[in-house]
Amino acid sequence: MSTLTIAAVQYDIHWLDQQANFNHLEQIIKNHFTDNAAVDLLLLPETFSTGFCINKSNVQEPEGGGFALAWLKKIARQYNCVVAGSVLVSQNDKKVNRFYWVFANGTVEHYDKRHLFRLGKEQDHVEQGKNRKVISINGIKILPLVCYDLRFPVWSRNCQDYDLMVNVANWPAARRHVWDTLLKARAMENQSFVVGVNRIGVDGSNTPHSGGTTIIDFTGENIVCAADNQQQIITTQLDFSKLAKFKDDFPAFLDADEFKLL
């Protein structure tokens, strides 16, 4: 398969209210698919069911799965697609910020956020992820990242093991220019498609978010962008044969430096 149809959901996350978020998402997803074709991949922001409440107790899911994972499975089954979004999950005496990828048949894969947001003291409450992960959907290789990971290009360097990078975030409006700039940089330097999925609204810590959910091609050009500060689902079909041709014509990856992640 050389194409992948993607939908990315930009919305205002209800603070510490899982059921309100589930109800809200079900309604806007239903409304969208009433008028639009099916997709292969449906993407939700970081901590989509609670907001970025890393210092709160009793908000994390059990490691074997809780309400949020069950809900993701339901939506994946209902719309016959992969559904992906991050939630806080118990691990040891802390949590992990776990980016779940749930397939329609019930299969679950995940990536745990590697780079913890020091300014927000995420490292005091969340355990660092150890492993880089590549997810395969219909033969398309996808690198999942969570929010602050975007600032660290070595972690996301394309060693010709992925075609698409996906970053889900609660990225504040105050640093929106960084979000927009780095998403494009990652697309160009890695010769890959990039999707950035961000929330809108003011969270429970009084931090404003303006969105910036976007799908970018391998030359750094925007394919589709959500409107700022608006609830919206953006969708497009990515053609990976165009990526392959571009890399054949401009094989910059052949001159990349060798490196090793420690």
Question: What positions carry a catalytic annotation?
Answer: 46, 113, 147
HSE on the CB side for 125, CA within 13 Å?
18
Tokens 């999942």, located at residue? 144
Q: Angle between the 18-35 and 67-79 helix axes, to the nearest 10 degrees? A: 10
| Gap between the Cα atoms of 138 and 21, Å rounded | 29
Q: Could you tell me which of 34, 49, 202, 56 has the C-alpha nearest to residue 122?
A: 56
Task: Classify residue 248 as exposed, middle or buried by CB count within 10 Å of its CB (0-12, 13-18, 19+).
Answer: exposed
Q: Could you tell me which of 106, 168, 160 has the C-alpha nearest to residue 134?
A: 160
* One-letter identity of residue 236: T
> For the residues of 30-52, what is the DSSP string, one character each?
HHHHHHS---SEEE--TTTTT-S
Tokens 């996350």, located at residue? 13
- Name the DSSP class of 129: P
- Name the DSSP class of 52: S
Q: Could you tell me which of 175, 192, 206 has the C-alpha nearest to residue 238?
A: 192
User: In Å, what is the CA distance from 184 to each residue of 57, 215, 216, 222?
Assistant: 36, 10, 7, 8
| Gap between the Cα atoms of 257 and 215, Å rounded | 27
